[in-house]
Amino acid sequence: MSLAMAGIVFILVPPLYTSSGVAILVQAKQVGANATNPLLNFDASLSTTSSILVQSLSSPGLANQINRNSGDSFTVKNSSSNGNDPGSQPFIYVTTQSPTAEQSVEMVDLVLGFARQDLLDRQQGLRVLPGRYIKLVNVVSGTPPRRVLGRQLVAPGAVAILGIVVTIAVALLGETLAAARRQRSASQSGEERFADTAAGWSYPITGSATVVGSRHSIASNGAAKQIGPGAGTSSGH
C-alpha cells in the first residue's frame, strides 16, 4: 500500500528543471600596457568585484523580479561547486530551477543580464572612464534544461516511510487488541466457572453433573442420586 501511495505522489508532484551558466569578469585593455590581451589581466580586484556582484544578485528584491513561478529559484556564487577551486574567483556561477524547462534556461540569462547592468551602474556611479570598464563575458550560456528528481523523490519517500510506520502501528495495534480479547475471554470464562462453583455446580471429567449440597444429582446415565443425610438411591423412572 505504501509503495502504491508513493507512486501516486511521484506522479502528482510536478518535476523541476535546472540550468546553469558561467560568466567571467574581464578588465579593459590597458592603454600603453605590455599585455595586449585583456584575458591576461586577472588580479584579486576582479575576485572582489565578483563577490560584490554575488551579494547584490542574492538580494530578495532581485529574486522577486526573476522568479516568475512559485517553484522558481536560483543561486549565484563566485566559486565552483566541485570544491577544487581556491576561494573566490572572477567568475559568476548561476544555477536555476523551475517547473518549466524553458524558464530554467531563461532565468540564467536574466540573472547574468542583471549582473551586467549592476556592474555597469556601479562603474558609472564611480565615474570610471568607459575605456576602463570591467566587462562580464559569458563563458557558458544557459545549459540545456535537465530534469531534477530530488523533489519528486523526497515526497514519495516520505509517504513510503509514513506508510510503513502506519502499517507497523496498525499491526501492533491489532495484535494488542487480539491479546486483550483473548485475555478478556479467558478472564470471563474463569469468572463463569467460579460463579457456577459458588452456586453448587462442579464439572467432573466424566461429564456427569453433580449437585453439591443439594438433595439430588443428575448423572449422565439418567440416574438420580440423593446426597446428604438420609439420602437414598433411586433409579430413573
Task: State the Cα–Cα distance between residues 111 and 63, nearest whole angstrom.
Answer: 9
Q: What pLDDT is attached to residue 96?
A: 95
Between 119 and 159, where is the model more confident?
119
Does residue 80 have a pLDDT over 80? no
CB 27 within 8 A of CB 44: no
Does residue 170 have a pLDDT over 60? yes
Summary mean pLDDT of the chain: 75
CA 45 vs CA 48, 52, 57, 107, 134: distances in Å: 5, 11, 18, 27, 11
Q: What pLDDT is attached to residue 71?
A: 86
CB 148 within 8 A of CB 17: yes
Indicate the pLDDT class of residue 185, thresholds 50, 70 and 90.
confident
pTM of the shown model: 0.57
Q: What pLDDT is attached to residue 12?
A: 56
Between 197 and 209, where is the model more confident?
197
Give the pLDDT mean for 168-195: 74
Compute the radius of gyration of the chain from its Cα atoms. Answer: 44
Give the pLDDT mean for 174-184: 80
CB 16 within 8 A of CB 97: yes
